[in-house]
Structure 1
């Protein structure tokens, strides 16, 4: 059977270490009894262990060469091999509206987009595991006050608990990436109501971290069509920088901004 040629334009780095593949597959055991969707299976190094979990498993792959390989190597999986772009899929249709675990050896260049899509489908995805660039994993798991704490940290930790499980060296891939990788597990927390408007929360978080070296009283001004009174920016929280704020403080800040915008409209 011919192997698949890794394609640079798809960010393909095929894992070759079977022990690591098995360890990644075992991360889904934290969310038992629900189906599994693997993103970017490539030649199925992770898939071969996922199908042993005695659960429904589907894989989504955009590379037609990989799809052909998987169809040949895993004939029992053929009905569950989806040739599509994960970022464009309607995830409600994958398991007919059932919740599922998302996993994979995610392409580096779209890993953040994958997690943003997960957030958009958080009620469908109680658990997400897999391997990503170490730097991205560190950002996702970082705490307030750290250099890595940023947009991805806040938006994901608002709804999920993040575990940085282990680091993976470059030499277990074909071709080897230029950076180290890491395996993470993300599980839904107990938050059902964030306590603020989610869309406004995202706007606020992105706005202030896009100017992360500036105090909030400076970076928040870009959100307002009509500038608030000076008293709004004189509140104590406005002297902080975004990496100093906890999730709850971002919720409070969002409500402050939202309330001020409504006041401006009613003036």
Structure 2
């Protein structure tokens, strides 16, 4: 068998392995793992973050799709702590089954090619999650954290901020990885809200409304939402139909979604 270091990162898995010791230490400090916590790492790769996390908490679960990485990872973890490896596609993985009585702390250097669908998959399961620390493309973190009126503000901002408090922590230069990606990365902490920011009647309505609004972000709400909400219904939610989607706050989107739910209820 060749050594685990000979593993060549695979494009189809979006693999970029972290090797910068200083950055690894900062990530582990940001997570601050404690013994007894239920920590799950997504895409452990060659174990750069896995081994220090395992050392700190004694037991760790990881989700890894690339079977070639699994045995070398298990070998490296031997003697450090209990490593439980789930060889599965993380987009289909049910995190709720791991949670038990304690909510999960999820960590990962997320594959850039699936980061957005993966974030949506995780926020669907946010009741099982205490917090998440992720390495992502810096531009994705900028979009997650963006405020209304900012050009980065969009569907991802609204939907993530409805579910979680978003704290960008620090940037990571391409040279910290092998191979070096073409983009800057950033570490972000997501903490699911115990109470959502405002009362929402129906999550599906919010999701549909936000997706529709941002499908043509240069147009006004009157135009983008006309098939869902006529202008007078937008006004009834205390929102100006003449503004663009990127100027509307999360709370206003929630009001619009509640208006949409009420209309649907009246129609049935």
Give the TM-score, by structure 2 length.
0.90
Q: Is the 8 A contact 2:200 2:257 kept in 1?
A: no
In the TM superposition, what is the alpha-carbon distance from 1:33 to its structure 2 partner?
Answer: 5.6
Q: Residue 32 of structure 2 aligns with which residue?
A: 29
Deviations 1:36-95 (A, max 9, x none): 100001000011111122253111100011112112211255750111111111212224
In the TM superposition, what is the alpha-carbon distance from 1:234 to its structure 2 partner?
Answer: 6.0
Matched, 1:2 2:7: no
Matched, 1:170 2:174: yes
- For these two proteins, the number of residue pairs brought into alignment is 261
Q: Are the structure 2 counterparts of residues 163 and 233 from structure 1 closer, same or farther at C-alpha, using a change threshold of 3 Å?
A: closer
Q: Are the structure 2 counterparts of residues 233 and 60 from structure 1 closer, same or farther at C-alpha, using a change threshold of 3 Å?
A: closer
Distance 2:120 2:202 in 1: 17
Q: Is the 8 A contact 1:92 1:98 kept in 2?
A: no
Distance 1:121 1:32 in 2: 24
Distance 1:233 1:54 in 2: 50
Report the more deviating stretch, 57-66 or 84-93: 84-93
Q: CA RMSD in A?
A: 2.1
Give unpaired runs (5+ residues) of structure 2: none
Q: Is the 8 A contact 1:159 1:191 kept in 2?
A: no
Deviations 1:77-130 (A, max 9, x none): 575011111111121222446311111111001111221111111111120102
Distance 1:105 1:259 in 2: 41
Q: Is the 8 A contact 2:34 2:56 kept in 1?
A: no
Q: Are the structure 2 counterparts of residues 194 and 52 from structure 1 closer, same or farther at C-alpha, using a change threshold of 3 Å?
A: farther
Q: Residue 154 of structure 1 aligns with which residue?
A: 158
Q: Are the structure 2 counterparts of residues 231 and 223 from structure 1 closer, same or farther at C-alpha, using a change threshold of 3 Å?
A: closer
Distance 2:60 2:223 in 1: 48
Q: How do residues 93-112 of structure 1 correspond to structure 2 at under 5 angstroms?
A: 93-96=97-100, 98-112=102-116
Q: Is the 8 A contact 1:97 1:124 kept in 2?
A: no
Q: Is the 8 A contact 2:141 2:188 kept in 1?
A: yes
In the TM superposition, what is the alpha-carbon distance from 1:254 to its structure 2 partner?
Answer: 0.7
